[in-house]
Amino acid sequence: MRFTSTPRGARLARRLVSHRLNDRGHPYTAPANEALTLITAELTANAVRHGHVPGRDFHLRLTLTEDAVRIEVTDTRAEQQPAPSPPPTDLLSESGRGLLLVAALADDWGVTPRPAAPGKTVWAELRGRPQGHALT
């Protein structure tokens, strides 16, 4: 899905993921829903803050399979690449911890170039069957 590259767009994307997971058997208060919603919040906030190009939106893709959930957030700014291993931030800083949270919550995450257009896709994956529910 496509969202405006604004804080409102990031909020709507986060809510969509939470609702879709709930609809697929992962209640709002389930650990998987909470973790994936937080991951989505961080990735979409980064797309808005660091990947924003005026007049261009970001894209969100949620893929649910039997054994994994994958979140992909694509923006149009190729030159702003997140570090593969986020450096620790100043303890007094109000920002800079988003990818540390993603790395702690996700089983795997990374960045891939956007095919056929400028930009990048930042993705995170949670594997397994949380709370015994199949992800379909």
Map out the domains of the chain as residue ranges: 2-87+97-132
3 vs 15: CA distance, rounded Å: 12
Which residues of the chain carry a pLDDT beneath 50?
A: 130-136
Q: What is the pTM of this model?
A: 0.83
119 vs 127: CA distance, rounded Å: 26
Q: Give me the CATH code for the 2-87+97-132 domain, please.
A: 3.30.565.10
pLDDT at residue 116, as a whole number: 81
pLDDT at residue 88, as a whole number: 60
**pLDDT tens, 60-90?**
999 988 889 999 999 988 776 665 555 566 6
Task: Give the three-state DSSP class for 10.
Answer: helix
DSSP β-bridge partners for residue 68: 127
Q: How many residues does the chain have?
A: 136
CA 88, 90, 96, 98 dihedral sign is positive
130 vs 108: CA distance, rounded Å: 16
pLDDT at residue 43, as a whole number: 96
